Amino acid sequence: MNATTTKKFEPGAAVFGNFINYYSFNPPENRLKFIPTDFLFHMPSVKELNSVAALDVGCNAGDLTLRMYEHLTEGISNSQQNMLSDNLHILGVDIDECLIKRAKEANHYPKNIQFNVLDILDDTSRKYSLQTFLNKIGKERFDIVFCFSVTLWIHLNNGDEGLKKFLTILSGITENLVLEPQPWKCYKSAVRRVKKLNCPEFEHFKSLTWRDNVEDEIQRYLINDCKLHFVKSLGQTHWERNVLLYSKVHG
């Protein structure tokens, strides 16, 4: 996939979900309200705060990534804040070079936040990018992965098997996963939008078998195949998308 083929000056033509004005219509606070400021302190895997690694998949221009860092280091005790503000490290990745360029330019926390261009389904690029980041902070895996409204775009561009691979990748690199999958109605909206703009159709759309029940299928796959434990729903956005928390099953 190459995001440069997208008609960048027409927001609705973002076939990878790489909308140029995304946070103008879906600001970071729409997700942050579901994440308690002491969120990380309730993670069983985060026993020590000497190094906490987070990944934001599909970070767009980085607005939410930056606000997530601020959010998770605010509203906690001074001692916790001092420790976490130094030791929380977030990697934001997106397929779109222009969006990542904007994210880097807006990054006020270069010691704690890094942005990389990445097609996460590309095995070589993914392993290099993620491992380089983890090695730098002395971690073997991520403590938490955030993935907001990305599954639809992976699914439409890569089919059922591509989505399964994506979910397998996420579950294999983290202890905890915050996932906001899009429901089927969002797929139909995306298809109508590209058709209206005379963009190429999503080649996998008609062959998808995960359709009306796509959210249930994703949940079943994460639990049964990826061995994640569903912890709870953190809430539902105004677009009726569920923000879900999963954790790794050990033993």
- Three-state SS for 155-208 is HHHHHHHHHHHHHHHHHHCECEEEEECCCHHHHHHHHHHHHHCCCCCCCCHHHC
**Whether the model pTM is above 0.95:** no
And the tokens for 169? 């990748």
Q: Which residue has the tokens 């591509």?
A: 162
Do 50 and 144 share a domain, yes or no? yes
Do 103 and 71 share a domain, yes or no? yes
CATH of the domain at 210: 3.40.50.150
Do 247 and 222 share a domain, yes or no? yes
pLDDT value for 21: 87
Question: Is residue 210 in some structural domain?
Answer: yes
Question: Is residue 38 in some structural domain?
Answer: no
And the tokens for 13? 């033509």
Do 185 and 204 share a domain, yes or no? yes
Do 166 and 218 share a domain, yes or no? yes
- Spatial contact of 99 and 61, defined as CB atoms under 8 Å apart: yes
And the tokens for 217? 């299928």
Q: How many CA atoms lie within 13 A of 140 on its CB side?
A: 3
Question: Is residue 79 in some structural domain?
Answer: yes
Question: Is residue 57 in some structural domain?
Answer: yes
Do 173 and 141 share a domain, yes or no? no
- Spatial contact of 113 and 64, defined as CB atoms under 8 Å apart: no
Question: Cα separation of 219 and 38, whole Å?
Answer: 26
Give the end of a domain, one of 148, 181, 197: 148
Report the pLDDT averaged over residues 126-135: 99
pLDDT value for 251: 64
Do 142 and 207 share a domain, yes or no? no
Do 158 and 251 share a domain, yes or no? yes
Question: Is residue 176 in some structural domain?
Answer: yes
CB atoms within 10 A of CB 210: 20
Question: Is residue 20 in some structural domain?
Answer: no
Q: How confident is the prediction for the chain on average, in pLDDT?
A: 92
Question: Cα separation of 168 and 162, whole Å?
Answer: 10
pLDDT value for 11: 57
pLDDT value for 47: 63
Do 196 and 139 share a domain, yes or no? no
Q: Report CA dihedral (12, 17, 22, 26) to the nearest 10 degrees.
A: 110
pLDDT value for 3: 46
Residue 249's identity, in one-letter code, is V
User: Which residues form the domain of 163?
Assistant: 150-251
Number of domains in the chain: 2
Do 175 and 125 share a domain, yes or no? no
Question: Cα separation of 215 and 116, whole Å?
Answer: 28
CATH of the domain at 60: 3.40.50.720
pLDDT value for 159: 99
Confidence at 8, pLDDT banded by 50, 70, 90: very low
Question: Is residue 53 in some structural domain?
Answer: yes
And the tokens for 157? 């561009």
pLDDT value for 12: 60
Do 164 and 139 share a domain, yes or no? no
Give the end of a domain, one of 148, 163, 191: 148
Do 193 and 143 share a domain, yes or no? no
Question: Is residue 6 in some structural domain?
Answer: no
Give the end of a domain, one of 80, 113, 148: 148
